[in-house]
Amino acid sequence: MARAFAEIAFTPNVVAAQEANGSAETYARFLSPEMQGGERLGEAEAAFITLRDGFYQATVSETGWPYVQFRGGPRGFVKVLDDKTIAYADFRGNRQYISTGNLAENDRISIIFMDYPNRRRLKVYGRVKLVSKLEDPDLVASLHDPAYRVRPERAVVITIAALDWNCPQHIPQRLTAGELEAAHPAFGEALARIRAEKDLE
């Protein structure tokens, strides 16, 4: 864990819980002056993010309630703009606008990018700027894959405050149908036969 992430995550109440449960000494070193970094994307983080087809994001309402949402799109829909900035096109959904409303009041966001097949996850803290199509149509268009037939409403631009790779210990290994077909060709062939038989019915 890098210092930037610990500075945000290890609040006084968190440190008190660590002390009460015997892990304070283990984590105190992450707040020491010798520990640095964790506020910029390196090559590994940038590559990891651009390979994802979804992530979990958390925002907080003005009444203090957290809201966690899964955001998905074609692989690579989250773009790395530079070593401090990522962005994605916000597609029209059920039009509840809970995350959008929360971010209008509190621009803080927490994101978890998951790689289930390889049991890896990257946690990100950041601050969000929402940019509508009217404000910057070129930016929104640059983030949208025209082959993905949905309408983007805005750009979500995230300035990274901190990031951290997380322990894989309790991450289940899961594969999408496409990943399973690539990993096990026999499964792909069997699935193709089933699909062909169904089309003949």
CATH number for 98: 2.30.110.10
User: Do 109 and 131 fall within a single domain?
Assistant: yes
User: Do 146 and 196 fall within a single domain?
Assistant: no
The pLDDT tens digits of the residues spanning 49-62 come to: 999 999 999 999 99
User: Do 85 and 109 fall within a single domain?
Assistant: yes
User: Do 102 and 178 fall within a single domain?
Assistant: no
Residue span of the structural domain in which 199 resides: 172-201
User: Do 116 and 65 fall within a single domain?
Assistant: yes
User: Do 31 and 52 fall within a single domain?
Assistant: no
User: Do 14 and 90 fall within a single domain?
Assistant: no
Which residues are within 8 A (CB) of 164 and not within 5 positions of it... i.e. 6 or more apart?
1, 2, 5, 38, 122, 123
User: Do 162 and 176 fall within a single domain?
Assistant: no
User: Do 81 and 150 fall within a single domain?
Assistant: yes
Q: How far apart are CA 22 and CA 10, in angstroms?
A: 15
User: Do 178 and 189 fall within a single domain?
Assistant: yes
For residue 70, how many other CB atoms are within 10 A of its CB?
Answer: 9
> Which stretches of the chain score pLDDT less than 70?
200-201
Q: How many domains does the chain have?
A: 3
Helix (H), strand (E) at residue 165: strand 152-165
Q: How far apart are CA 52 and CA 32, in angstroms?
A: 33
What integer pLDDT is reported at residue 87 of this predicted model?
98
What integer pLDDT is reported at residue 56 of this predicted model?
98
What integer pLDDT is reported at residue 93 of this predicted model?
78
The pLDDT tens digits of the residues spanning 170-187 come to: 888 888 877 777 777 777
User: Do 130 and 46 fall within a single domain?
Assistant: yes
User: Do 53 and 74 fall within a single domain?
Assistant: yes
